[in-house]
Amino acid sequence: MAIKFAPLKISALQATLSKVKTDLLVVGLFESSKKTTKEIDQLDEVTGGAIRSVLKSNDYKASLNETLFIYPTSTKGPKRVLLIGLGAKNDFDLNRCRRAASVIVRECQKTGIKSIAMDIHDLIPEKFNRKDIGQAIAEGLHFGRYDYFDHLPEKAKAKQPIKVTVIDSLAEQVKTLSQGIRIGDKIGAGQNICRHIANQPGNEIHPPELARVCQRVAKQNNLRCKVFNKRQLTDMKMNAILAVGKGSEHEPRLISLEHKGKSKGGPDVVLVGKAITFDTGGISLKPGLGMQDMKFDKSGGCAVIGIMAAVAQLKLKLNVVGLVTSAENMPAHNSYRPGDIIKTYSGKTVEIHNTDAEGRMVLADALWYGAKMKPKIMIDMATLTGACAVALGSHYAGLFTPDNKLASQLEKSGQASGEPVWRLPVGPEYGNEMKSTIADLKNVADRWGGASNAAAFLQEFVGDTPWAHIDIAGSIVNTSEKPYAATGSNGYAVRLIVDYLRHF
Ligand code: BES
Ligand code: ZN
Ligand code: ZN
């Protein structure tokens, strides 16, 4: 698979709105406020009063993400104006700004517009720092821009390069806006790498192919990449990863991506991502309905890849190791089975009660491997349980950690990045339910509290490393096309974790 996106160039420019020559000028407005800026009024004049008459008519309410194209009769200003609603001014935050940017770019893609000038930040209250706004705009533009068209060449070809210019009349603000844009550019690109890999179907991406993709991403971003194949995993006794991968014609892989942002010391943070390239459930086969979405069971690993790319591009002064633990969970004559007892890399034994609880198995070995590096913090992300998706739906990911400080930092990053997490319990009550009578652990408990049981199982493999687990099972796909996003992977956890690392 190739990771190449139709170009999107974003820059900030000092200019007067009414004098900008562009295919499209985007202006942001708040709901139930007829307030405009002097800039917008001047623009209104050159466009023959079109904006004023729209606002007067009350047909357009500037409610959240409400758009309206205006085609001025005068030729003095821009060819088109797009109004974008920012909703109520008091409810405004950076997430709304990010999403508005996504809507804008998707609206423009419907037409053949190749250059956009935008001013959505002018009415935004001063308390929002222009650097953060620049970042949110860039992240949102990249997010909205992405489509998975690898198998629709006509649609892929129709995606023209787009140039976006963020306009401001003050030189000082242009400077801060562009600093933010540069950051958002990198995070947005990292997120789209994650989404693009996650969107690949199981017949095109399996663990060895995923490892090759990682090597390519590593090369492009100056990361160190190590790949452990089946023979090496066998030598290291990583029997849990091997067990899950046994029934597949494609061997499992453990992949490590390393960013060295400072010369001294070991890893500050180890990230671990579940990458089951397809989860049939194995011998404990899943029901058929909706099984196609199990190609997204590699999303935790894909998030780690996207995060590592962004971390490298941002040149964070941290040492970060990303581990991608990958297998294909298939039913076959040689698959691992219910009743099997597996001796994991840590030495702990696990009695298999359900081969569909495979994520915690591949994570067990990778977490132990990560813990051995003695990082300051270890965070894993995984599409781990249907139970977490039932509890939280798609709007929050589940956060499990015994560490209150780490929890509040991740909650804060979740709010800031627009990828929020909601804390759920993990602890000995849930851990006790994972004990087996004939091995150290079993891989499932009963139905109730399944997300916390899974987290407690993982905790058995982190030693005393400060650790958090993020269950993204419910939050990683857009099931239908939205005004702000294409169907498919949304790259959840990339912005969240990059924000956490930037404030580490
Ligand atoms: N990959 C699934 C979890 C999942 C479910 C992700 C729905 C996304 C959407 C995981 O491997 C799994 O099958 N978990 C089981 C665990 C059970 C057997 C204890 C589940 O949640 O049903
Ligand atoms: Zn499963
Ligand atoms: Zn799974």
Phi, psi of 260 (to 5 degrees): -105, 100
Pocket test for ligand 1, best of 274, 336, 380, 385 (most atoms within 8 A of CB): 385
Tokens of 108: 């423009």
Average per-residue pLDDT for the chain? 96
Looking at 286, 348, 376, 423, which residue is catalytic?
A: 286
286 included as an active-site residue: yes
Mean pLDDT of the region 458-470? 98
Indicate whether 141 and 217 sit together in one domain: no
Atom of ligand 1 nearest to the CA of 354: 18
Residue 35 has pLDDT above 90, yes or no: no
- Cβ < 6 A, ligand 1 pocket: 279, 297, 354, 356-359, 383-387, 389, 444, 450, 473
Burial of 347 (0-12, 13-18, 19+ CB in 10 A): exposed
Does a structural domain hold residue 20?
yes
Quickly list H helices, 418-493: 428-432, 450-459
Q: Which pLDDT score, from 0 to 100, does residue 344 have?
A: 99
Distance CA 414, CA 407 (A): 10
Contact partners, residue 43, CB within 8 Å, separation at least 6 = 17, 18, 25, 27, 51, 77, 81
98 included as an active-site residue: no
CB atoms under 10 Å from CB of 352, counted, come to 26
Mean pLDDT of the region 89-103? 97
Count of structural domains, the chain: 2
**Closest ligand to the CA of 448:** 1
Could you tell me if 13 and 227 are in contact, meaning their C-beta atoms sit under 8 angstroms apart? no
Does a structural domain hold residue 256?
yes
Could you tell me if 349 and 441 are in contact, meaning their C-beta atoms sit under 8 angstroms apart? yes
Distance 372 CA to ligand 1 centre (A): 27
Could you tell me if 221 and 261 are in contact, meaning their C-beta atoms sit under 8 angstroms apart? no
Indicate whether 142 and 209 sit together in one domain: no
Beta partners for residue 274, in sequence order: 325
Indicate whether 141 and 65 sit together in one domain: yes
Q: What is the pLDDT of residues 206-260, one digit of tens each?
A: 999 999 999 999 999 999 999 999 999 999 999 999 999 999 999 999 999 999 9
The CATH number linked to 414 is: 3.40.630.10
Give the domain extent around 40. Answer: 8-167
Indicate whether 259 and 313 sit together in one domain: yes
The CATH number linked to 158 is: 3.40.220.10
**Could you tell me how far CA 260 lies from the centroid of its own chain?**
22
Does a structural domain hold residue 177?
no
Looking at 98, 360, 442, 495, which residue is catalytic?
A: 360
Q: What is the pLDDT of residues 64-86, one digit of tens each?
A: 999 999 998 888 889 999 999 99
Distance CA 276, CA 339 (A): 21
Distance 382 CA to ligand 3 centre (A): 8
